Chains A and B, each alone.
Chain A
Amino acid sequence: MSTVTAGVRLSTIAARVRDRATATPDVIALREKDLGLWQQVSWSQYWQTAELVGHALLALGMEAGDRVAIHSENRREWLYTDVGAVAVRAVTVGLYPTNPVAEVAYLLRHSGTRVLIAEDQEQVDKALAVADELPDLEHIVYLEPRGIRHRYDDPRLLAWPDFLALGKEHLEVHPDAVDERMRQVRPDDVATLVYTSGTTGPPKGVMLTVANVDFAIQELVERGGFTAPPPSSKDSVLSYLPLCHVAERVFSCWFGAGAGVCVHFAESIETVAPNLHEVQPTILFGVPRIWEKIAAGVQIRIASAGPLKRRVGGYWLRRADWIGDTLAANGGRHTASSRLVHAIGYVVCYRALLDRIGLRKVRYAASGAAPIAPEVLRFFMGLGLPMHEVYGMTENTAVATANRPGRVKVGTVGERHEGVELRIDETTGEILTRHPGTFAGYWQDPEATERMIDPDGWLHTGDVGEWVDGTHLRITDRMKDLIITAGGKNIAPSEIENALKASPYVKEAVVIGDRRKYLSALIGIEPDTVGHWAQLHRLPYSTYRDLSSKAEVVALVQGVVDEVNERFATVEQVKTFRLLPKLLEHEDGELTATQKVKRSAVTNAFADLVESMYRGGVR
């Protein structure tokens, strides 16, 4: 930020946490479930521990700009380390817990990590397996001692309590050392390296500076770029998406440090549903996959309930569709009749339903990080959830556009934030953004940086978009994903894919058709719902592969495809499809760490399936 110079007070997340610890020491900052209870951490405890981490890093000889990697599920120590590292001007690097050994090796080597915080034996093993190739890696701090203590004798290993004890010793000898470092902070200090998941090629490390983060917090949190009114200490969030992703970092770390929002850590991604029920957060961010799953769960559970519940629930779900349509047509605001219908439905059905799925207290729900089908948004809006699609990317610190409460346009990603310049390139249709949150560059990759930021400071997002009514931005697709058929027609596959994925039976859909005569699709079924469907229809099956090869299942998906095709022009219709014989996995390289499909990897892995769809003359 040009107006802020070193010496002038610049609020890093560490400074913000410290200020909260002084202002509201006893207010609860974090909660994590342990032995069946939600253990509470107040702001003063939060800062004390984070400060100890800072001292410990100093004790280990970390200099400004050195990298600390965190390889863990979301938990308190993740935030302690993030805040502590920023306090001593070190750089945090987040690793996905699902990262396989090869990627861990690449990320640690590429970032030149000196200290690694590893959650448990599994993650320690990954690092130790490639430790010889990592000359920079000096210390591995482990959080869970089980299986490590008394069994591993690698000299680099250090238990978390010992790590904190180091910090305590350092604190006693140099009580002002962390404060000293915090005063030296400069706006262009790199605060964190966020490795983009890389649907193509190896991951690239996005350098977000202290100034970038500060801008994002001001724009998204303090000015209420998402929520209205802005978040406060009365709000709570559930942290369950990987913290190494910029979106979750915004909603748990920065919402917490910036506005005092209480962060609850989910036990794991599998327990999100029960944890939501317990925590009943007021602000919830989800990726489309999560929202699709919740929506499918609601439909399936009502369909499989008893006769009365099925009838009443089914009726009110249909009413919710109507309310959703009305809201969507009206910018997210109620009309008199939709408000009345919703009020009755709330008493009879929606209140209980939202409570069961843990969304009753949600005052702001957002979807982002990938395009979502409008049907899914409308579904939740109809239930009474204030649902907003937002847009941003790691390279602009997640600051670009958002649907504002009361001014929602379903199918768009909303209006630009206040301090954001945004335009659409006249020739390519690419979306360009410019603001102080634009990243400092890719770590050790100036060439790629040059391709992203032009000399005028515009960030090339790689997304193609258009204006709707001059205010809202609609995203067509990723530029590199656009399909040009053999007939020369430009088609945005994600729209068709999302329409397919809106069905509860479809988990993944990859539309293919670049330089082909017609469109086809590889479809992965959702094992839970299709399995349930198979049970209802007395269709025995053993494995996922067996299930997806059943003629009845193919017919079921054909029905979904036909329904979707009706909504599209002839050239955009999926003429044929094949079901994927396996679930796509991050570890098999078919998904990115954020569960996005790697198109090239999937089409390569299932090349024979793809070819079989174009062999012979299907229409």
Chain B
Amino acid sequence: MSSTRLGRPQLYLSYAQDMALLNTPAKRWWTLVLALVAVLLPFMLEDDLLAVLATAFVAAIGAIGLNLVTGYAGQVSLGHAFFLGLGAYTAATLSGDPDSTRLIGFGITSFPIWLLASGLVAGLAGLIVAPLAARLRGLYLAVVTLGLVFIGEHLFKHWGDLTGGVGVGRPAAVPELFGIQFAVDGEFFTKAQKLYLLMFVLLVIFGVLARNLVRSRIGRALAAVRDRDLAAEVIGVDVTRYKMIAFAVSSFYAGVAGALLYVMIGFVEPGSFNLALSVQYIAMILVGGVATISGSVLGALFITLLPRVTRELPAVLPFISSSSTSGGITVFQVETILYGLLIIGFLIFEPRGLFGIWIRIRTYWKSWPFSH
């Protein structure tokens, strides 16, 4: 049977083949090559670049979460920073020093536990917010979720026992598994190498889980809700239920991403969970590709690596300064402007994002030598 299928990728004999994630030999080979490259990278790149890549992988998990609710289910959410913050503080608190007098801490450093817990706390919060989404849509929903960010900011700034307060902050979660410390340099691997590999594995796990979710009955229901909630209801999709699922799962992903995000830096600052962070994630999915998992990853990589590029600008363009004290335009302002320009540019010229560009290139060569 396999010999019959060889060279006949379109000859579907079962729905499992039709639905397979890697349904063509080309996809299988490229995925293998990509995975190999990703695993070998830590032994070829400098540690500081690895740290950025690891951060990008975590951001990708968060972006996948936002894409689930905004891209797949069509529910615009500006509140992603709030859920990221919930995750970050749940993890930091659970793994925090129990003897500290200044901060709450429980000393649970095993990372699967605090990772799951932060996901669940954020997911629960998402579930509480979801009924709002059931009654609102479009701009109104965006405004309500914007409100969440402000509530969160207020909470994080003033609950000093939890967050350490503005300008002070608290240490981030400690990743430990079976006695292995990921966040310190080891005998064989550096901290960056270990974290890079850990984040890569987590991204693959959460990416595959999300991909599986969106090609299932739930994914189809979410798409139906996005395309027209009224029509979805008429064909038998329980709109309220699926909006709740979308918010809960999306917030779970945000919680997980939030918990991991500050592991790299080692420190959480309560002021960082603001609107700008939400916008950054929206930029990721718009630049990467709305309603695609691979697009979310591409977008997260792009947006996270962007500062690395802009930091080099002052060397090339002397009128841009690298510090905020010396007058003129700073790299941070350039970054903010670039986000804006990128979002505008992608929305106008390539609404399907980086993934859309990839699809276009792929189609061009797939349809060779015809045009379609």
Contacts and interface: CB of A to CB of B under 8 A. Distances in A.
B367 interface: yes
Contacts of A301: 370-371
A305 B371 contact: yes
B11 A38 contact: yes
Contacts of B364: 306
Nearest to B369: A313
A618 interface: no
A363 B311 CA distance: 60
Given A37-B15, A37-B18, A236-B4, A302 B370 contact: yes
Interface residues of A, number: 27
Given A36-B18, A37-B18, A236-B4, A309 B370 contact: yes
Interface string A15-57: 0000000000000100000001110100000000000000000
B12 A37 contact: yes
Nearest to B3: A234
B7 A279 contact: no
A277 B10 contact: yes
A38 B369 CA distance: 28
Interface stretch (A178-186, A352-360, A438-446, A585-593): A352-360
A460 B369 CA distance: 47
Given A37-B13, A37-B15, A37-B18, A28 B4 contact: yes
A293 interface: no
A356 B7 CA distance: 12
Most chain A CB atoms below 10 A, which of B7, B10, B18: B10
B370 A356 contact: yes
Interface string A277-315: 111100000000000000000000110111001001100
Nearest to B1: A28
A304 B364 CA distance: 14
B368 interface: yes
Contacts of B368: 309, 349, 352
A355 to B, nearest CB: 8
Nearest to B12: A37
Contacts of A360: 7
Given A301-B371, A305-B370, A356-B370, A40 B13 contact: yes
A479 to B, nearest CB: 43
Contact of B7 (A280, A305, A352): A280
Interface string A339-350: 000000000010
A349 B370 CA distance: 10
B369 A353 contact: yes
Contact of A38 (B3, B7, B12, B371): B12
A361 interface: yes
B8 to A, nearest CB: 5
B14 interface: yes
Interface in B328-372: 364, 367-371
A316 to B, nearest CB: 8
B369 A305 contact: yes
Nearest to A234: B3
A280 B8 contact: yes
A519 B49 CA distance: 80
Interface string B1-38: 10110011011111100100000000000000000000
B369 A36 contact: no
Interface string A130-161: 00000000000000000000000000000000
A223 B1 CA distance: 27
A279 B18 contact: no
B8 A278 contact: yes
A306 B12 CA distance: 31
Nearest to A278: B10
Contact of A312 (B4, B12, B369): B369
Contact of A309 (B7, B8, B369): B369
Interface residues of B, number: 18
Contacts of B371: 301, 304-306, 309
A40 B14 CA distance: 10
A279 B5 CA distance: 9
Nearest to A236: B4
B102 to A, nearest CB: 63
A352 B370 CA distance: 9
A262 B7 CA distance: 16
A318 B18 CA distance: 38
A302 B369 contact: yes
A277 B3 CA distance: 17
B8 A279 contact: yes
Contacts of B15: 36-37
A352 B10 contact: no
A302 B7 CA distance: 23
A296 to B, nearest CB: 13
Interface string B167-211: 000000000000000000000000000000000000000000000
A234 B364 CA distance: 33
Contacts of B18: 36-37
A13 B370 CA distance: 42
Contacts of A236: 4
Most chain A CB atoms below 10 A, which of B18, B364, B371: B371
Contacts of A302: 369-370
A304 B11 CA distance: 28
Contact of B367 (A262, A349, A356): A356
Contacts of B13: 37-38, 40
Interface in A214-269: 234, 236, 262
A312 B364 CA distance: 14
Contacts of A352: 368-369
Contacts of A304: 371
B62 to A, nearest CB: 36
Nearest to A356: B370
A280 B1 CA distance: 15
Nearest to A26: B1
Interface string B268-310: 0000000000000000000000000000000000000000000
Contacts of A36: 12, 15, 18
A588 B142 CA distance: 63
A90 B193 CA distance: 77
A349 B368 CA distance: 8
A276 to B, nearest CB: 10
Interface in A154-189: none
Interface string A306-345: 1001001100100000000000000000000000000000
B9 to A, nearest CB: 9
Contacts of B370: 301-302, 305, 309, 313, 353, 356
Contacts of B4: 28, 236, 262
Contacts of B369: 302, 305, 309, 312-313, 316, 349, 352-353, 356
A305 B368 CA distance: 9
Contacts of A312: 369
A262 B11 CA distance: 13
Most chain B CB atoms below 10 A, which of A236, A280, A361: A280
B293 to A, nearest CB: 24
Nearest to B9: A278
A280 B3 CA distance: 13
A234 B7 CA distance: 14
Query: 7 closest A-B pairs (Cβ-Cβ)?
Result: A305-B371, A313-B369, A278-B10, A301-B370, A352-B368, A280-B8, A309-B369
Interface of A: 28, 36-38, 40, 234, 236, 262, 277-280, 301-302, 304-306, 309, 312-313, 316, 349, 352-353, 356, 360-361
Given A262-B4, A305-B371, A313-B369, 13 more contacts: A28-B1, A36-B15, A37-B15, A38-B13, A278-B12, A280-B7, A301-B370, A302-B369, A309-B371, A349-B368, A349-B369, A352-B368, A356-B367
27 contacts: A28-B1, A36-B18, A37-B13, A37-B14, A37-B15, A37-B18, A38-B12, A38-B13, A278-B10, A280-B7, A280-B8, A280-B11, A301-B370, A302-B369, A305-B370, A305-B371, A309-B368, A309-B370, A312-B369, A313-B370, A316-B369, A349-B369, A352-B369, A353-B370, A356-B369, A356-B370, A360-B7
